A and B are shown apart, each in its own frame.
Chain A
């Protein structure tokens, strides 16, 4: 019994963690690595100035050779940031550029330059992901046990998949509504406030789904209040958007994070539910 709970969580966490780690290397880490070039100033985003000039719609979207991709290298910009060039275009990036510079100072504090690289970086990323998924697995199987005790429900593979989907909704989908997956170099509010809101949104959504699923009668609709509450409070956002990463990159990153997260959580819930029901004491 004791071992059933812990073993289900460990094996499911390992399976989901390794699957997630592989998908992260494939889909999300390469985007992070490009974003870090912008964060460090090695590449700069000129907010479409070059692209606007370079596009030739006359002959079917050919791009000029120069800064055709809308990115210019920092070497070309005196201070490593080309935001100033866009100060006149009405988007008030000039004010944002100052914040951008202070973020560049931040980045040193995060010691990205000194962080692990190569195989070590890949290994530590995988290890962290596995540990996080084992942690989520332990919370999930604790939930299995409590649900079976309190409601008489029986958790199996199918129910486990539903729990995995709920875990995804709580820790990825609901949190992303307020705090979309961030790339390095994105503008964001103060870290502590975001972490607090993230935990509140995840717990509120998880509790809300549990109430909707397991509380009998009309009282179950109180679950909707729990799910909505974090969004009524609202996530902390920065006063200004000064992110140095192109929105195209941020968009593809957010979509990929959610897709990888969905796969990881379904593996976690399915494997945990299956092992849990298979080891059920007679």
Chain B
């Protein structure tokens, strides 16, 4: 494996890591904003949840 292709594949792996991180973090944020059952999150996000058509109440 040449140095160039090694660094290219490392860069690719890092982006794949970023993809996995983005899916986990994105899912976490959407869940927290729209779905989490905690009363504090519900009250804080109430108008936003209704306005974004997440099921609420």
Contacts and interface: CB of A to CB of B under 8 A. Distances in A.
Interface residues of A, number: 57
A131 B45 CA distance: 10
Tell me if A's interface is mostly helix, strand, loop or mixed.
helix
Contact of B29 (A112, A138, A281): A138
Contacts of B54: 195, 198
Q: How large is the interface on B (under 10, 10 to 19, 20 to 34, 35 or more residues)?
A: 35 or more
A115 B15 contact: no
Contact of B51 (A24, A106, A146, A191): A24
Nearest to B31: A135
A139 B23 contact: yes
Nearest to A253: B50
Interface in B20-56: 21-23, 25-35, 39, 42-56
Contacts of A171: 53
From A132, A137, A195, name the one whose CB has the most chain B CB atoms within 10 angstroms: A132
Interface in A49-86: none
A37 interface: no
Contacts of B43: 110-111, 114-116, 124
A181 B27 contact: no
A166 interface: no
Given A32-B50, A142-B23, A191-B56, 10 more contacts: A24-B47, A28-B50, A110-B46, A129-B51, A131-B33, A135-B33, A138-B29, A191-B55, A198-B54, A257-B53
10 contacts: A1-B15, A2-B17, A5-B15, A125-B48, A129-B33, A134-B29, A135-B31, A139-B23, A182-B53, A261-B53
Interface of A: 1-2, 5-6, 9, 20-21, 24, 28-29, 32, 106, 110-112, 114-116, 121, 124-129, 131-132, 134-139, 141-142, 145-146, 171-172, 175-176, 179-184, 188, 191, 194-195, 198, 257-258, 260-261, 281
